[in-house]
Amino acid sequence: MGKFALLFLFLFFAGIFGALFYAPVLSVLVYQLVYFVNPDNSWWAASIPGLKYSFIAALLMLFMVMMRYKELSEISPWGKQPVFKWMFALLAIYGVMIFFAIVPEVHKPFTYDFAKLIIIMLAVYKLVNSEKALNACLWAYILGVTYIGYIAYSVGRDGQGRVEGIGMIDTGGDGNMTAAAMAPALILLTYMAWLGNKKIKVFAIFCGGFIANGIVLINSRGAFLGVVVGAFFFLLFMIFSRHQRKGQRGMAILIIIVGLAGTAYVADEAFWSRMETLEDIDDGSKSGSHRIDFWIATFDVLEDYPMGVGIQGYIELSPNYLPEHYFEGRKIGKAVHSTWFQALGEVGWLGFALFVMLLISTFKMSRNTKKYLIANNNYNAYFKMLALEGALLSFLVAASFINRARAEMLYWLILFIAIASNLYYLRFKESDAKKDRMNG
C-alpha cells in the first residue's frame, strides 16, 4: 500500500474517531478530505478498501448534528441565516422542473444530488460554529487544492497542453472545473500570509506555489481571470481602505511583487500562448469555441421553454438552435459554457432570479457583517470577510465560462461567508438587541 493511501486512511479514520469523541467539527474536515482527495479516482485507489467514503463522511456529519442539535441550534440557527431560504427556493424550482425537464432521467438524479448538497451545507453551518473551526475548514480547503496542484505537477500536461482527469469528486476530471475550484484558494492564502506569523507566511507561499503551478499546468483561462479579479479586489481594499494596520500598504505591494514574480516563474510559453487568446472569445478552440453564440441561443431556447429545459436540456436541444457546423463529427449537443446561462437555461427566468438573489443575499450579509466589524474595530475579521468575498468573486468569474451553477465549491464559498457572518455578526446582533431591550 502506497504512502498516500496509508495517509488518507489514517486521516479518514482518525477524523471519524476525533469527531465522535473530541470535536464534532472534525466530521466536516473528514468530508472535505474525501471531497478534495477524491479517493475513488486516485491512482492509489486500488490499494484501499472499496468503501463509500463520501457517504460515510456525510452520514457522520448528519449524525453529529443530530446528537447535538439543541446545543448547536442555539449558536447557529438556520432560520436567522437568509441565504438558506434562497437555497431552498432554488432547490424547489429544480424539484418542480422534474415534471417539465427535456431529459427527466438526467434531471431527476442531479436534482437529488443538489438536495443532498443543500443538506450537507445545513449540517456544516451548524458544526462550524467557532472562528477556530472556520479557520480549520479554510485550511482544509487550501490543503486540498494544494494536493491537487501537486497531482497536476506529478501528472504533467497531455498532448493537448492541458492537465485533465484530476480534481474533486464533482468535476469529473474536467480541467477547467478543477482550476476554477482552485483559484479562490490563492485569495484566501493572500489573507493568511498577510496576518499569519513567519511559519504561516512560509507555508502559504509553499501552498500557493503548488496551487498556482497547478492552474498554469491546467491552462484554464477562466481560472486565470478569476485569480486576477479576486486578487485585485482584495489587494485594492488592502491598499486604499481607510482601516489600515501598520505596514498594510507595504505588505500589499510586497504581495503583488511576489505574486508577479511567482507567476513569471511558473508560467511557461504554453500558458502565455493560451492566455493571449482571452480576447478572442470566438476563438474556435475545442474547449471554448464560439461561446457567445451558445449564450445567445439560450434566449431562443427560453422563447420556446420559458420555464427552462432542465438539466442537460440545453445540450439535448442545442442542434435545434445552433448552426449545423457546430455538430460536425459530434454525436451529442453543445453545452452552454457559462454558469449564468446554465442556470437560466435549466430553470428559466424565475430560477435564474433565485440564483442571483442567493448571491445578492450572500454579499449583502457580508456587507452587514463588515459594517458591524468596523463599528467594533475588529479589522482582522473585516479583512477576512473581504478575502472570503474575493474568493467567491474569483470563482464566479472563472465559472462564467463553464457550467458550475450547482458546483459544490460554489456552495462551500457561499457557506464560508454565511458561517463568518454568524460568527462575527448575527450572534452579537442578537445579544446587542437583548442588551438594548434591558437598558431601554
Write the pLDDT tens digit of every residue in 168-208: 999 989 999 999 999 999 999 999 999 999 999 999 999 99
pLDDT tens digits, one per residue of 273-287:
767 666 554 444 444
pLDDT tens digits, one per residue of 78-115:
999 999 999 999 999 999 999 999 999 999 999 999 99
Which amino acid, residue 293? D
Q: What's the whole-number mean pLDDT along residues 249-261? A: 86
Average pLDDT, the chain: 91
**Residue 396 pLDDT greater than 50, yes or no:** yes
Give the three cell numbers for residue 200: 504561516
**Residue 404 pLDDT greater than 60, yes or no:** yes
Q: What does the pLDDT read at residue 161?
A: 82
**What is the band of 440 on the pLDDT scale with cuts at 50, 70, 90?**
low
Q: What does the pLDDT read at residue 282?
A: 41
The answer to whether residues 56 and 186 touch, using CB atoms and an 8 Å cutoff, is no
The answer to whether residues 8 and 116 touch, using CB atoms and an 8 Å cutoff, is no
Closest Cα to residue 29, out of 15, 40, 18? 15
Say which residue, 334 or 33, is predicted with more confidence.
33
- The percent of residues above 90 in pLDDT, for the chain, comes to 77
Say which residue, 366 or 432, is predicted with more confidence.
366
Which amino acid, residue 265? Y
**Residue 256 pLDDT greater than 90, yes or no:** no
Give the three cell numbers for residue 379: 479589522
**What is the band of 297 on the pLDDT scale with cuts at 50, 70, 90?**
very high
C-alpha–C-alpha distance, residues 102 and 99, integer Å:
9
Q: What does the pLDDT read at residue 432?
A: 66
C-alpha–C-alpha distance, residues 265 and 244, integer Å:
31
- The percent of residues above 70 in pLDDT, for the chain, comes to 92
Q: What does the pLDDT read at residue 243?
A: 86
Residue 133 in 3-state DSSP?
A: helix
**Residue 386 pLDDT greater than 90, yes or no:** yes
Closest Cα to residue 83, out of 379, 430, 365, 282? 365
Residue carrying the nine cell digits 448575527: 426
**Residue 258 pLDDT greater than 90, yes or no:** no
pTM for the whole structure:
0.93
**Residue 74 pLDDT greater than 60, yes or no:** yes
